[in-house]
Structure formats: structure tokens, C-alpha cells
Structure 1
Amino acid sequence: MSQSATRQTVLQLYRSMQREANKFSSYNFREYSKRRIALGFRENKLATPDQTKDLIVQSQNDYEMLKRQATINSLYAHRKVVVE
């Protein structure tokens, strides 16, 4: 995979994960997910190409898990927090 294709894949994955995190109905889950995603990508910014391939696979699995969690979270009603 070329460097630009890898960069494009990583950016697409980052944006998808952030969009999915915004689907949480609970403020605390939503903000935690967004922070955790940004921190995880920032921590691995200087990874080697081999590490990047492994991290992309791991992030895709995390994205699928995030989608499931957001769906489950939206099934259960809750009261809004003051900051919402």
C-alpha cells in the first residue's frame, strides 16, 4: 500500500469513527469515545509502515465495536445531562 493510500485509509477510518461516536445518545459515552479516538490516533501518528498496517486492522475492529455500542446505546432512553 502506498503512503498516500495508507494516509487516506487512516483519515477515512478516523472520520468514520468520529461520526460513529457522535451517534451516542449519552453525553458521557459520546465525549469519552471522541477523546479516546483522537488520543489513540495521535499516539500512533509516528508509527512505522508495518505498525500502521496492524493498527489499521485493529482500528477497523474497534470501529465495528463502536458501531455496535452506539446502536445499543441508542436503544435505551436516558435523561439528558445538564451539559447537554
Structure 2
Amino acid sequence: MAAAPPTKEALLHLYSSTLRASRTFSSYNFRNYFVRRTKSQWREIQDEKDPAKLSSFYNERVKELPVIKRSAIVNSLYGGWKLVIEEPRKPETTLERSDS
């Protein structure tokens, strides 16, 4: 007998947990990669109705979540400098022309 497909609540909880774990990477590139990857994987399965595919997808993502969490911890231990793109923008100062 096949296992019951995961509920919508279980899928949403796993999705939010995976996104949360993806956002904990200290490296800008890793963080953005895992957020994009998570969103694209879940977008592909969004309209799926086949219980077997949903169960398979859910089980794969449950196994992947601890790997992402461990990777984020290791990344935070060896995190480097912040990139320029991560720095907060400073308010622009208005310059006045000297000839006016």
C-alpha cells in the first residue's frame, strides 16, 4: 500500500523551512543561489496532482533540508567579506554647480 501524499500544510511548512534555511547563508552568492533554486523547484511542482510524484518530491526535499542547514552553518563559519552589492546604499548628496 502506498503512503498517503503529504498535505498542503506539510508542503507549505517544508517550503517555508527550506526558504528560511536558504536565507541563513552568509555568502551573498550562496544565499541567492539557494533561494532561487528553492523557488524554482517548488514552482515546478506547484500544480502537480499526482500523489506519487508529490510524495517523492516531498521525501527528497525533507532529506535535502538538513543538508542545506548544515551547509549554511559551514558557510557562516568561513564567511568572507561582504560584497559591494550587499552594502547599504548611502543617501545621495546633492552637488551644486560652482558656475551658477
Higher helix share: 1
Q: Could you say which residue in structure 2 is the equivalent of 1:38? A: 39
Q: Could you say which residue in structure 2 is the equivalent of 1:29? A: 30
Alignment of 1:47-62 (within 5 A): 47=48, 48-62=50-64
How well do the aligned residues superpose, as a CA RMSD in angstroms? 1.3
Aligned sequence identity (%): 35
Q: What is the count of residue pairs matched by the alignment? A: 82
TM-score using structure 1 length? 0.90
Describe the SS at the equivalent of 1:83: helix
8 Å contact kept, 2:27–2:79: no
Q: Could you say which residue in structure 1 is the equivalent of 2:98? A: none
Residue 79 (1) aligns with residue 81 (2): yes
Q: Could you say which residue in structure 2 is the equivalent of 1:9? A: 10
**After the TM superposition, which of the residue ranges 39-48 and 26-35 deviates more from structure 2?**
39-48
Q: Which amino acid aligns with 1:65?
A: V
The list of structure 1 runs, each at least 4 consecutive aligned residues, that deviate by more than 2 angstroms after superposition, is none
Query: How far did residue 45 of structure 1 move?
Result: 1.5
Residue segments in structure 1 that go unaligned for 5+ positions in a row: none
Describe the SS at the equivalent of 1:79: coil
Relative contact order, CA 8 A, sep 6+: which one is greater? 1
Q: Which amino acid aligns with 1:45?
A: Q
Q: Could you say which residue in structure 1 is the equivalent of 2:71? A: 69
Residue segments in structure 2 that go unaligned for 5+ positions in a row: 87-100
**After the TM superposition, which of the residue ranges 6-15 and 41-50 deviates more from structure 2?**
41-50
